[in-house]
Amino acid sequence: MNDKQYLVTINVPPSLEEAFVDCLLTLESEFGFSSFQVNAHDHKNENLSSAEQVFGRQRKIRFQMYLSEAGLPELLAHLKSEFTGSGIHYWVMPVLENGIL
């Protein structure tokens, strides 16, 4: 790999899923992405419904995308401009290796 690559992971509440997809699709020429349902578990129990508190999990939609170091600031700036204050959690990890088998 000539350029550093990163994996961006973002957990989105189901209520924001469509808006988030629409936002990412405006960047699709730059970034492809995957999405899937996950259950988030957090000891803080903030913003959980009564049912979520009983079951100890909260449904989220996880988005993941690989991108170059150069594309990372653009993606994060775009998402922050659209979703500041929404409580969406994200993290960025370096990709040590990737390929096609």
Residue ranges of the domains in the chain?
5-95
Q: What is the pLDDT of residues 16-73, one digit of tens each?
A: 999 999 999 888 656 689 999 998 776 565 665 555 555 566 789 999 999 999 989 9
**Alpha-carbon gap, residue 43 to 53, rounded angstroms:** 10
Q: Which of 47, 60, 74 is nearest to 20 (CA)?
A: 60
Q: Note the pTM of the prediction, 2 decimals.
A: 0.81
Q: What is the pLDDT of residues 52-63, one digit of tens each?
A: 555 566 789 999
**CATH number attached to the domain at 5-95:** 3.30.70.120
